[in-house]
Amino acid sequence: MSEVVRVGMLGCGTVGAAVVRLLDEHRTEIELRTGVRVEVVRVAVRDPARDRGVALPAAAFTDDPGEVASDPNVDIVCELIGGTEPALSSLLSAIDHGKPVVTANKELLATRGRELFEAADANGLDVGFEAAVAGGIPLIRPLKHSLAGERIRRLMGIVNGTTNYVLTRMTDDAMSFEDALAEAKRLGFAEADPTADVAAHDAAAKCAILASIAFNSRVTAGDVYREGITAVTRQDIEFARRLGYVVKLLAVAELEGESVAARVHPAMIPAAHPLAAVRGSFNAVFVEGERVGELMFYGRGAGADPTATSVVGDLLGAARHLLHGGRAVGCTCRLTRGISPIEDMESEYYVLLQVEDRPGVLGEIAAVFGREGVSIRHVWQEGLGADAQLVFITHRAREGALRAAVEQLRGLAAVEAVESVLRVEGEE
Amino acid sequence: MSEVVRVGMLGCGTVGAAVVRLLDEHRTEIELRTGVRVEVVRVAVRDPARDRGVALPAAAFTDDPGEVASDPNVDIVCELIGGTEPALSSLLSAIDHGKPVVTANKELLATRGRELFEAADANGLDVGFEAAVAGGIPLIRPLKHSLAGERIRRLMGIVNGTTNYVLTRMTDDAMSFEDALAEAKRLGFAEADPTADVAAHDAAAKCAILASIAFNSRVTAGDVYREGITAVTRQDIEFARRLGYVVKLLAVAELEGESVAARVHPAMIPAAHPLAAVRGSFNAVFVEGERVGELMFYGRGAGADPTATSVVGDLLGAARHLLHGGRAVGCTCRLTRGISPIEDMESEYYVLLQVEDRPGVLGEIAAVFGREGVSIRHVWQEGLGADAQLVFITHRAREGALRAAVEQLRGLAAVEAVESVLRVEGEE
Instruction: Name the DSSP letter for residue A303.
Output: S
Q: How far apart are CA A243 and CA A379, in angstroms?
A: 11
Whether the CB-CB separation of B302 and B310 falls below 8 Å is answered with no
CA dihedral A416, A418, A419, A424 (to 10 degrees): 150
Q: Rounded to an integer, what distance in angstroms lies between the CA atom of residue A369 and that of residue B226?
A: 59
Q: Is B298 within 8 Å of chain A by CB?
A: yes
Q: What gap in Å lies between CA A110 and CA A220, rounded to an integer?
A: 5
Q: Which of A144, A145, A293 sits opposite B306 (nearest CB)?
A: A293
Is A130's Cβ below 8 Å from some Cβ in B?
A: yes
* Percentage, residues of chain B above pLDDT 90: 96
Nearest to B291 among A32, A309, A320 (CB): A309
Query: What is the amino acid identity at position B81?
Result: I
**CA nearest to B324 within chain A:** A326
Which residues in chain A have Cβ-Cβ distances shorter than 8 Å to B297? 295-298
Taking alpha carbons only, the member of A219, A210, A224 closest to residue A143 is A210
Give the Å distances, CA to CA, from A366 to A255, A395, B34.
31, 13, 52
* Rounded Cα distance, B287 and B311, in Å: 22
B179 or B427, which is more confident: B179
A290/chain B closest Cα distance in angstroms: 9
How far, CA to CA in Å, does B57 sit from each of A112, B42, B43, B60?
A: 48, 9, 10, 6
Is A309–B317 a contact, with Cβ atoms under 8 angstroms apart? no
Model pLDDT, residue B427: 76
Query: Whole-model pTM?
Result: 0.96
**How does pLDDT run across A342-374, given as a tens digit for each residue?**
999 999 999 999 999 999 999 999 999 999 999
Measured distance CA(B311)–CA(B13) in Å, rounded: 14
Interchain pair B291, A22: CB under 8 A = yes
Mean pLDDT of B75-80: 98
| pLDDT of the residue at A427 | 76
Q: Which residues contact B363 (CB under 8 A, 6 or more apart)?
A: none
Burial B233-251 (b: 16+ CB within 10 A, else e): eeebbebbeebebbbbbbb
CA angle B319, B320, B324 (to 5 degrees): 125
- Give the distance from residue B147's alpha carbon to the nearest chain A alpha carbon, in angstroms: 6
- pLDDT exceeds cutoff 70 at A428: no
CA distances from A184 to A178, A188, B16, B25, B257 (A): 10, 6, 50, 48, 37
Q: Do B295 and A295 touch (CB under 8 A)?
A: no
CB of B428 within 8 Å of a chain A CB? The answer is no
* pLDDT tens digits, one per residue of B43-69: 999 999 999 989 999 999 999 999 999
pLDDT confidence bin for B428, thresholds 50/70/90: low
pLDDT tens digits, one per residue of A240-276: 999 999 999 999 999 999 999 999 999 999 998 989 9
Q: Which residues of B touch A141 (CB under 8 A)?
A: 141-142, 145-146
Region A68-81: mean pLDDT is 98
Q: If you measure CA to CA, which chain A residue comes closest to B277? A: A274
Residue B327's pLDDT is what? 94
Decide: residue B340, CB within 10 A, 0-12 exposed, 13-18 middle, 19+ buried: buried
pLDDT tens-digit profile of A410-421?
999 999 999 999
Could you give phi then psi for residue B4, rounded to 5 degrees?
A: -95, 130
- Cβ contact, residue pair A325, B329, below 8 Å: no
CB distance from A277 to chain B under 8 Å? yes
What would the DSSP string read from start to end of A365-404? HHHHHHHTTPPEEEEEEES-GGG-EEEEEE-SEEHHHHHH
> CB-based contact (8 Å) between B147 and chain A?
yes
Q: Write the residue in A26, A277, A291 that is nearest to B306 by C-beta.
A: A291
Q: Do A312 and B149 touch (CB under 8 A)?
A: yes
B271 touches chain A (CB under 8 A): no
Cβ–Cβ below 8 Å for A295 and B292: no
Distance between CA atoms of B182 and B184, rounded to whole angstroms? 5
Q: Sorting pLDDT into bands at 50, 70 and 90, what band is A426?
A: confident
Query: Is B248 labeled as catalytic in the residue annotation?
Result: no
For residue B154, the distance in angstroms to the closest alpha carbon of chain A comes to 15
Task: Indicate which residue of B99, B106, B206, B248 is catalytic.
Answer: B206
Name the helix (H) or strand (E) containing B204: helix B201-215
Report pLDDT digits (tens) over B222-270: 999 999 999 999 999 999 999 999 999 999 999 999 999 999 999 999 9
CA–CA separation, A294 and A286 (whole Å): 7
Predicted pLDDT of residue A2: 67
Q: Would an 8 Å CB–CB cutoff place A305 in contact with chain B?
A: yes
| Mean per-residue pLDDT of chain B | 96
Contact B198, B314 (CB under 8 A): no
Residue B375 is given by DSSP the state P
Angle between helices A27-34 and A304-324 (to 10 degrees): 40
> Is A294 in the B-facing interface, judged by CB distances under 8 Å?
yes
